[in-house]
Amino acid sequence: METKTYAGISEEYAKLEHANIVLIPVPYDGTSTWQKGADKGPKAFLEASENMELYDIETDSEVYKQGVYLTDAVTENTSPENMVDAVHDVTKKYIKKNKFVTIFGGEHSISIGTIRAFNEMFPSLTVLHIDAHADLRQRYNGSSCNHACAVYEASQNTNLIQVGIRSLDIKEKSIMNLDKTYFAHDMAIDDSWMDSAIDQMTENVFITFDLDAFDPSILPSTGTPEPGGLFWYETIDFLKQVFAEKNVVGFDIVELCPNEIDKSSDFLAAKLYYKMLSYKFQKDITEDDYDNAYNNKPLTNNLSKYKEKDDY
């Protein structure tokens, strides 16, 4: 995958030493079981981002001025296990640099590596899993690093909260914490789910967002679309509250499966990513703060257990 700056931003805002934000692309599609193409998701996302206005009306901000460093893509694909290890290592590397680390997949198995890294670095981690599918199988097709196993490890090692679920195998129900699972059919008739979910979160939150959480009427380009999903404004309203009330330490977005006919899904994914960044940095953004944002104003609310000041 060709490496360029995120959203076509100038080098001034794209260098690692000046960037508060790191974006790691993972074009991997080794274990998906229906529609292939999630490996093309990062490229489509980046192309859509280049055609997006960088002023966010709602937050009255241009969050790219916090600096967004686009890393080389993680291209390890010799095995699902090796891919997970590679994603884990690069994610942890940039957390140690005290960056706000974000990842764009790729299929959902990449999140096993991202969640593992964040859980090792941040105490009492909540994983907010927004998805159509439970992804709680311990193994699938001979591997524990399958897209159907994306949050099994998180269910054992973190405070896992699942939102938007509307498809699962009956065996997954025995693993699922029903008190911390918000099913789409219940969410459709009772909007108290937002406050309930947030109340069950610890202070540090990592978000893993599978794009098939959205209803396929607004995002059809995903590997396993499911009817009855989330819509735009309810989703960003929930995310806005999470970012406001909790310390979101990072996030990944997965399962964009682009097609040549309809580009709207690519653009929605690009807007979602930028909106989440805008919410994260809303409190820190002032009209002319870029020059001081990194050197004089470190992300003190994003510090991990281990802080490392490596040379760039």
- Contact 255/212 with Cβ under 8 angstroms? yes
18 pLDDT above the threshold of 90 = yes
286 pLDDT above the threshold of 50 = no
d(CA 91, CA 70): 13
The whole-number pLDDT of residue 238 equals 98
- Contact 269/232 with Cβ under 8 angstroms? no
223 pLDDT above the threshold of 80 = yes
61 φ, ψ to 5°? -145, 165
Tell me the pLDDT of the chain averaged across its residues.
Answer: 90
d(CA 202, CA 246): 8
- Contact 70/23 with Cβ under 8 angstroms? yes
DSSP state string for 207-260 = EEEEGGGB-TTT---BSS--SS-B-HHHHHHHHHHHHHHSEEEEEEEE-B---S
Which residue's entry shows tokens 């097609």? Answer: 259
285 φ, ψ to 5°? -85, 125
Task: Pull the structure tokens for residue 106.
Answer: 């790729």
The answer to the question of residue 311 being in a domain is no
Name the nearest CA neighbour of 13 among 3, 22, 2.
Answer: 22
Strand partners, 101: 22, 250
300 pLDDT above the threshold of 70 = no
The answer to the question of residue 208 being in a domain is yes
The whole-number pLDDT of residue 32 equals 67
For residue 233, the one-letter residue type is Y
Name the nearest CA neighbour of 203 among 148, 270, 269, 124.
Answer: 124
Q: State the residue range of the domain holding 264.
A: 6-291
Q: pTM for this structure?
A: 0.91
Name the nearest CA neighbour of 222 among 183, 264, 251, 184.
Answer: 264
Task: Pull the structure tokens for residue 126.
Answer: 């909540």
- Contact 13/291 with Cβ under 8 angstroms? no
Q: What's the total number of domains in the chain?
A: 1
298 pLDDT above the threshold of 50 = no
* Res. 301 pLDDT band, cuts 50 70 90: low
The answer to the question of residue 312 being in a domain is no
Name the nearest CA neighbour of 62 among 275, 309, 302.
Answer: 275
To which H or E segment does residue 83 belong? Answer: helix 80-95
Respond yes or no on whether the N-terminal peptide bond of residue 106 is cis (omega within 30° of 0): yes
The answer to the question of residue 270 being in a domain is yes
Mean pLDDT of 127-139: 95
The whole-number pLDDT of residue 295 equals 34
The whole-number pLDDT of residue 30 equals 72
pLDDT digits (tens, 9 = 90+) for 180-203: 999 999 999 999 999 999 999 999
The answer to the question of residue 15 being in a domain is yes
The answer to the question of residue 306 being in a domain is no
The whole-number pLDDT of residue 273 equals 98
| Cβ partners under 8 Å of residue 247, min gap 6 | 203, 204, 205, 301, 302
| Residue 6 burial (C-beta neighbours within 10 Å; 0-12, 13-18, 19+) | buried
CATH of the domain at 87: 3.40.800.10
The answer to the question of residue 211 being in a domain is yes
d(CA 97, CA 176): 34
81 pLDDT above the threshold of 90 = yes
142 vs 96, residue with greater confidence = 96
